[in-house]
Every structure is written in C-alpha cells, then in structure tokens.
Chains A and B, each alone.
Chain A
C-alpha cells in the first residue's frame, strides 16, 4: 500500500477516536469553545488530507460535516443532541469508509448522498428532509447508527430546550475498538513497531538521569584515583554514551519526513488552482525530535497550502508584475543555537495589510483607533487569530480561518515562536523557531558574578584572555579590549568584536573589574554569521549537559535557552548567545540569515536593503557626523604626531612593520595635534598574497550604532556615497573605495554618475572587505546588489532560479576560483548568457586571456570603481553576443 495512505490511515484513526470523545464532551458542555475548535480542526484535517489523497467520497462527507461545525462555531447553530448525532453519524460513516480503505487500499463504492443531504439540512437550519433514515452504513451493528436514526424525526425546531444529554453517551466507547483494531494489523507489518512516544519520553528522561549520575561518578573518581573503580567506570561511561546516542536516535527524524508529502501536495494544488508552482526545499536532513516533528507537520502543510492558495498569484498576474510565471514556495530548515528554524516563504504578492486591517475591524478584533496605532507587522499578526480568514471564498484548499490559528497553537505548544515578514509584491516568509528541548549538548561552564552558566559549545568559537589598552605589557597583535566612546570592543587579530559583559547584562553586580587581574576572560561566540565577545569572570571545563526547558514563568527571559544539572548536582542556567545578541541589539538574526546561502530568496534579494548594520560614527572636517560600516574598519588607532613621516610629501606611518599611507578626510593633516585618530582599513589574505592597509585620519570617533543603512541622498562630495539618517541625524556615508584609491593610486577621476538602472548585480568575492565595499558603492550607483562569499553560494542561487542582470566575480577564491565559476555559469542554466565581469587585483595579459577564454565578459581591476561602473554600464547596455536567446 502507498506509504502516504498508510500514514493517512493511522493519523485518521487517531483523529477519529479523539473526535468521538470530543463530540460527546461538546454535547455535555455546548459552550466549550476549545472543544469546538478541536473538533473543527480535526474534521478540517481529515477533509484536507482526503482532498489531496484523492478520496472524494470521504472528502465530501467530511466537508459536509465541517460545514455544520463551522456554523456552530460561528454561533449560527446551537449545539443540540440532534446536531451532534448527525455529525457522529457522519463520523461513523467516515470510519466505515476508512476501515474499508485499510482493508482494500481503495475507497469502497457507495453513496452518502442521504447523509450529506441531512448534514446540509442541519447546517442550513431547515427542517429535516424526507431522506430515508440515514443511509445506514455497512453491515456492522454499529450502535451509533441507531442513535443517528432519531435525527429525522419530524421536529420542526432543531433547538429544543436541553434535550436529554444521556442518550448518545455510551457509544464512543463501543465505537472506538471497532475503529482501532483494523488499523493495528493492516499497515506496519514490517521491521518496525509502533512505540508510544511517552515510552520514549520516559526512556529519554532515564537516560538523562543516567548521564548525570555517570558524570557525578566520573567527577568523584577523578578525585579518588582508585584504580579498581576506573575500569568498570570507563565501561559504564561508554555504555551510557552509546545508550544515550541510541535513545536520542529513536527520537530524531530528519525534517524531510515531514516534507515528504509536500511535493505531491504542491503538484495537486498546481492542478487545482491553475497556478505554476515550484517547491524548493533546503535542509531536509536537519534532524529534530520526533514529537516536535509530529506537531509541526500539520502546520507546515497548512502553511504551504496557504502560500500556494493565497500567496502566489496567477501566472498572468505574475507576468504582469514582471516576475517569472512559476511561483516559488521555499522551505528551509536549519539549526541555530539551541533551536531549529524552519522558514516557509513564497515569492508571491505578500500579505494584503489593508485587507487584513479591514477584516480585523469587521471581526471586531480591534477598534479603528487601535488599528491606527499598530504597525503593519502587528496587523499582519491578526492572521493568527482563531476565526480569521482572508480568502473571499471558502475553497477546498484552504481558507476557513482554521489554518494559521492551528499553526500558532501547535508551534507554541512546543515552546516555539512564529514570526512573519511580508513585502507587498515580493512575497511573505514565516519563520518558525522551535527549541531543541530534549538534546544533550556539550557546554562550556563559565562564571560571572559568582554564578555559573553554561554556554553551548557549538556556539563557542574561541576563548580569549585580553588586556586593556592601559596595560603596557601587551605584545603587539595581542587581543585587547578598547573603548569606542565608553563602549568596549574587542580587537582580535584583524577584527573588532562587540563585547557584552555578562555581569551587566544579567544584572549580577560585582564582577570583572578586580584589581589584581586587569585581563578579561572573553568567550567569543558565534551568533549567526557574526561574532560576539562575552566577558565572563572565570572559565571552567566543558561538560555534557541535558538541556531542560526552564519553567514557564521564566520563558520570557530570552537570554536562557534552558537549564541543566551539572555533575556536582547543582542547577545552572544555559545561556543562549542568540538571545544575548538580540537583547543587546547586536546582529539581528535577519542579517545573519541573509548571509546564509540557504536563506530564502526574498531575504537574499534584500541584502543591501533594510537590514541593520553596525556603523562607526565619527567626525572629520566639519561638525556633521560621518559613518562607515563597522565591518569595514579593521582597527582604530591613535598615532602620535612624531610617528608620522612624509618622505614623498604624502604622510605615512610605520605600522606593524610596514608603511601605511595616511589620508586625511579633511584634506590636510592637522600636524599640530599631538595624536591623530585613525581608522585602519585592511585587506589581508595572506594565503593569496593580499595584504594592504591604509589609515583614514579623522577628527573624532563618536559612537558605534546599529541602524539600517539606506542611502537617501546621492553623494554631493567626492568620497561619500550619500547621506543616510543614522541615529536620527543626517550622516554622510563615506565611500571607502574612494579613500582606498586615494591611498593606493594618487589620482581620482570623477565620473558622471551612471544612470540608476536598478539592474540586479551579483557580487561573488571571498573577501568580506570587498563585498562590503562594493555593495554600497554599487547601490549608490543605482544597482540592486546581492553579495555572496563563494562561487558555491552563487551557484546555489542559480539552482534556485534567482536571476540577475550581471555578475561580478573575484578570480582568486578558495575552493572554486573565478575561472571555474564562470565556466560553470556558461556551461548551462539560466545564467549562461549573463555578462560576467572579473574583478582582480593582478592583471597580467596572460591572465586576462585565460579569463576571456573561460567566459568572462570583461576584466576590471579591484579598487577601480569608475572602471567597474563603466564596464557594468557597457555590459548591460550591449548584451554579449552569446545572449541572443534571452
């Protein structure tokens, strides 16, 4: 039998059993809205699944039953015994069909018209039709059928005052076993057995305890040095580890299992809706807990269905909007810290904020005044309210307002969160974040303010002991904590890292500023794509810990991802670096995800758009603040006047054994100042022989702020990209490319600005420095820039079918170099005819030749911004001769 069908049968039987109980409960307590919602959802799920498995008989029946329940939920129909009986009769008929389905693998032939007519009659609240006593199903002596019989009695008013409750109670007990039995032996006769999740849950708890006890024993043994214990203890330890792994494995399943149904679902929807849809799935092998998987399965199905039905437009509309006719639904799963992130995105029309607002008002969810005060995002969240549906018509596919409410309930039940972003015309993305509550992880134990904390080892990049700049004994190049206007930053090799003090963050008091040791212990943690330094008082060992969820009352403290018991029996909190980063405003996770090649397209396309960038604010030549992306600045230095020389009329200084050119932003160096404040820009890649740096002399450092960098006014002055509002002030964003040119090449030809084209340009360069430099420079010239760090990432785009108008690629890159990359691009696919411009630091004739042979359209030297812009303009204006097919 079809796997899907087997799964459907087990699932439906579970649902049916639950339905019986719930329906009876509803009859007893007609006002119980929760039970009603549960019943409605269960029937809805059955209907939906039947629909896509192609089981028309079941679907029709479930649809009719759902109609009745929908009217009850809307308050149109009261809950009466008759109504419940009719619905139960429908459920029983469904059971009969499901059982036959389990036995033969096909829907039995038969006609449910009578029952459906009855259901419709109830739903329309009219008198009973003349239908014969409910097409009594199957030969089974089903007690429910008998109960169903009294329904068509000629009572004109279907809402009698409290009809006796006693009547239908006994049958669910009787009905259940008959439903459950056939399923138990029909499917699953192979090598697997069904084990209750609670059994696994108990096993997991026991293993966790065992791991903790083992750790305790090991700690004792370490101090005792009793050889007689050590061997058996070692064995115990190994077995425990194996056991732990085994039990974990029983619970873990790749998320792909939950996705397996989706391609077929999407294909069927394609037919039903007359749309062209492509489903892209990433991270299908991301493993997650079985229980979690089960709970998110339905939500995912709902969301994909929603995307297809509401999100994506009809092909004609898409064409009119300048998009590819084929709509795309993207699923992406990955681990982040102690969480699993699942994204469901589409490139459709986005969510209609105005419609949602109007609907929320009409449904009475909020008043006009409340709505006026809400942000778009808050308004979008109304779709998670029960009873909300934006589809104008109720279709079989989706749109009864059951979907998103179920999604949210299910996700929150497992302690997860759901976020929603939507951009009109560009699509919407749902991001589900689910905690990995049952994992055993390795963690680093640290101390701050006399309390110990665990940091998951997976996010720890390195441990650093750093001095302060007041400490004279420091060696050159050692990590050092410096202040940027009272904000501490860590200078680690060629990077500046934001620092947070755990003492301050957790308001522990006391702390790191002990007189004896001026050095800080810093845990460098990975937060998405960026690094963060966490200052702690002490660092202990690493330990295997069992992540246990924190009590509900403390779930709002995002800094903790759980708590655990250490080998010595004490309880400690587990820190969540992502939560810390968010709490301190460093590196929004959106930014980090955008850098991830697996991210969905909507986010990728906006990599220079609205994300927050850390900016270094400073003053130079005037009182207006200027800014540069902090990521571009390698170091901040103060250079004494006597260290500055001018051998050729241009100021240079000796810096780390080399001469570093100094450029004054204000035009000329103010030599009267005893010390010059210098921003050092460096681009070094030892492996590829790149190593240069230059110093930009400024008047004063103001601050580091995080803000969106959207350049609003084009540049008036050479050396700036334009003005942006940062921290509430109009700020010049400096064009590092310009200043680098000043340092390395003493000429600068100002060129006319290229016409803003909006053309999409993909920048492929392994050097973050160049990406950060090129992206703003090109955006300022009117291009829509997407930057990636490797050829592989770029090719991933090609596979997703993301289109660009031109590609800029570095030649020297690790793994796949520019030549191999361009060959791959030219070989096949939608990009085969795109102009590809090579960026290189070295341009020897032979190299240029090789580049042209490989397929590069043009060759431009790095740093030569104007040459690049000219080349881009030419390439885009005159398509390459191979591009006839486009």
Chain B
C-alpha cells in the first residue's frame, strides 16, 4: 500500500459527517482501541469461526471462512493495523463486509453496540497519528472519556498482492 493511492482516494466518511448528518457506527475494539465502522457497510457480525489458512497469501489475510455457503476472506485487523497479535486462544469476532461482490471478514477482538455519536464530536485525523493507523482512519469521534477511530473499510480492503 503506497501513499500515492492514499492521496488519490476520496475520503468517503469525512464529508458525510461534515454535512451535519450523524452517522451510525458499529463499535469494535482492536487491542483496547475503540473503533467504529459505518453500520451500513456491515453485513454480518460473527463469533469465533473456523478459519482455513491460505498458504502463500499476504500475512494480513488470516484465511477464509464459510458464511452460509459463501466463502469469505478473513482479514486480520491487528496485522493490518500493525498491532501485535492477540495472545493465542483469544476468541475473536468478525465484521463481515462486501466489496465488489466479494465478502470480507475483519477479525477484531470484540464487537459491541451500534452508536450514533453527534456530528459535532467528529474530528479529522490528528496529524500525529502513527502512519499505520492514519492510513485506515477516516476521522475520530470524541466520546465520553474515550476516542473512537472511524475505520475506512475501503482502504483496509485495498490490499495489494505484495502485502
């Protein structure tokens, strides 16, 4: 993933929020960080699933799983965001999303409720965000005592074969 692609891409989440519409987000945690993805882009939430390893695939790809007869490519969000892997045996949940007719499961530590934070609490990425996060972060919400990172699913799925 090069920075050029990053610049070329429009920022889908930010303008919508600027327009004053509050956005509903599915909240999830990755390595204790609260994150959110737009609820409309989520197809399914799954508990721990058997995942088949795919040899030779990029490291971010955890494997594939079966969702009611459809094959879903599982992406390890911890790896994708450059966070150290979870301790072995920790159960993980998946957020399933669709892109270009293919299904992808984002493996996260925990999925919690859906919330609609006020648009006024939205902030653009602070420039000091580490690059590994900045690339996939479409902005931040200030919540009570916590910050929620809005994940840009399009960019998370824009894996190049070289990883």
A residues contacting B by CB (< 8 A) are: 208-209, 212, 449, 451, 506-508, 548, 551-557, 559-560, 563-565, 569-573
Contacts and interface: CB of A to CB of B under 8 A. Distances in A.
Given A565-B71, A571-B71, A506 B52 contact: no
A553 B71 contact: no
Interface stretch (B12-20, B61-69, B129-137): B61-69
B50 interface: yes
Contact of B66 (A555, A557, A571): A571
Contacts of B52: 451, 570-573
Interface of B: 50, 52-58, 61, 63-66, 69, 71, 73, 100, 102, 104, 159-161
Given A209-B69, A563-B71, A557 B64 contact: no
20 contacts: A209-B69, A212-B69, A449-B55, A451-B53, A551-B104, A552-B100, A553-B57, A553-B58, A553-B73, A553-B161, A555-B161, A557-B54, A557-B55, A557-B57, A565-B66, A570-B50, A570-B66, A571-B52, A573-B54, A573-B55
A573 to B, nearest CB: 6
| B54, B65, B73, B161, most chain A CB atoms within 10 A | B54
Contacts of A553: 57-58, 61, 73, 159-161
Given A563-B64, A570-B66, A507 B102 contact: no
Contacts of B54: 554, 557, 560, 573
Contacts of A552: 100, 102
The interface residues of chain A, by DSSP majority, are classed as mixed
Contacts of A563: 64, 71
Given A506-B55, A548-B71, A551-B73, A556 B66 contact: no
Nearest to A448: B55
Q: Which 7 A-B pairs have the closest CB atoms?
A: A506-B55, A551-B73, A556-B161, A571-B52, A209-B69, A571-B64, A553-B159
Given A506-B55, A554-B73, A573-B55, 4 more contacts: A506-B56, A508-B55, A555-B161, A570-B66
The interface residues of chain B, by DSSP majority, are classed as loop
Contacts of B161: 553-556
B51 to A, nearest CB: 8
B157 to A, nearest CB: 8
A620 to B, nearest CB: 40
A600 B48 CA distance: 53
B70 to A, nearest CB: 8
Contacts of A506: 55-56
A570 B53 CA distance: 11
Contacts of A212: 69
Nearest to B58: A553
Nearest to A508: B55
Nearest to A449: B55
A449 to B, nearest CB: 8
Contacts of B53: 451
A552 to B, nearest CB: 7
Contacts of B56: 506-507, 557, 559
A554 B53 CA distance: 12
Contacts of B69: 208-209, 212, 565
A563 B56 CA distance: 14
A554 B65 contact: no
A391 to B, nearest CB: 35
B130 to A, nearest CB: 24
Nearest to A558: B56
Contacts of B55: 449, 451, 506-508, 557, 559, 573
